[in-house]
Amino acid sequence: MLLLMLALAWLLVRSGGLFEGSSAGWPEGGSALQGRGRAVFFAQRCERCHDGRWSAPADGADLRSAGAPRSAGWHAMHLFEPALARAFSKMPASPGLFRPSDWDSEFGDDLPAPELTADGQALVAYLLQLQSLPARRGAVHSGLQPQPDLRGGDDDLYRIWCSTCHGSEGNGDGPGAAFLAGESLPRAFRPGLYRVRSGPGLPSAGDLLSVISDGLPGTAMPDFAQLSEFDRRALAGYIRGYSPRADDDADDDADDDDDDDGRDGVEHYAGDPLTPPAVTPELLARGDALLTSMRCAQCHPELDDASAPPPSLDWTDELGRPLPRAPQLLRDRFKGGEAPRDVYLRVVMGMSGSPMPAYGEALPLTQDRWALVLALLERRAAAGP
């Protein structure tokens, strides 16, 4: 019996211990900064809750295999005060990763966010590296355990889950927004301009439900799949009501409530069926020609190495806040989904509140719209992960 106990103890030590994690199985840093971040990751003992061996999803998912990608600003916010990024988070704050003076002052109200130390910046770089692992490619949800159905007032739901970034009055100025300077900032709901929508005017309740359920991978907007469908639908209706146009643009939301996947309304924009045609060499050649003639490479230069410099567009949102430059279409995650019909809607509808225009009128033929979309997705697939 004593020998058996000694053998078990030796195995525990070799595997990292009963209560300690292990560096085995965690990728090395791809750069010097990421390598330093990996060392910080273990110095902070992050693997104890994020290695998937001893922890449940509610305590911290295995960061090597679970979770949609988030922005650098989201990670900084999460390290500074986890509850800002995730209500009811069990994760402790990490004051040692921020300059001490920043913890002694208020932030928000146009003040800059607390500044990461060099170790904090390195840790964020390593967390971003983990997001690119093959096991997390295409991930949407964070894998958190379901939350109980609150069924409280809609304003309580909004205050708990949304106000830290979107502000108590829906103006996009919550305390978490300070961390996202230079990134896609939290949406201000009152102007009624939304990136992701399936038809003219305001997004439908189903459009909002889809974003609430799946988040916007690559940005600070997380998924809320852990909330009950009742609470997610309540939030969608509450948020839509912030816009003064909501009453004038009520587009049959009663029908939306019967559509469980939250993607209502997408089959009837401009009479187009949102089923892509078969991919043929001729269709792709037409799409490649359209990508050039529509001058997509002016904002997305990776599409054409010899393209002209970007046009002088207004890179600010509806509130005058600076916007990040256009995403890398061959590499970055797409806001609003990466399925062909999702990309189709972004091309045809545009993305209100950003420089991305609507090309519905410039591309009146459905076949041309699909040709451009499918040619882009073909290039994206050829570029690899």
Q: What confidence tens digit (pLDDT) does each residue in 302-357 have?
A: 887 655 555 667 777 777 777 777 888 888 888 888 899 999 999 999 988 788 88
Q: Which of 328, 324, 329, 346 is nearest to 337 (CA)?
A: 346
**Can you read off the two tokens belonging to residue 282?**
């001729």
Residue percentage of the chain with pLDDT more than 70: 75
Is it the case that residue 1 has pLDDT exceeding 60? Answer: no
CA distances to 199, 314, 375 from 260, in Å? 18, 38, 31
Encode pLDDT of 190-203 as tens digits.
888 888 888 888 88
Q: Could you tell me the domains of the chain?
A: 29-102+109-132 (1.10.760.10), 154-241 (1.10.760.10), 281-383 (1.10.760)
Encode pLDDT of 147-200 as tens digits.
666 555 678 899 999 999 999 999 999 989 989 987 888 999 988 888 888 888
Encode pLDDT of 214-256 as tens digits.
888 778 898 888 888 999 999 999 998 888 765 555 554 544 4
Question: Measured between alpha carbons, how far is 134 from 131 in angstroms, rounded to an integer?
Answer: 9
Instruction: Pick the more confident residue, 265 or 199.
Output: 199
**CB-based contacts of 105, cutoff 8 Å, min separation 6:** 111
Encode pLDDT of 72-88 as tens digits.
999 999 999 998 888 88
In this prediction, residue 113 carries a pLDDT of 82
In this prediction, residue 7 carries a pLDDT of 55
Mean pLDDT of 271-290: 89
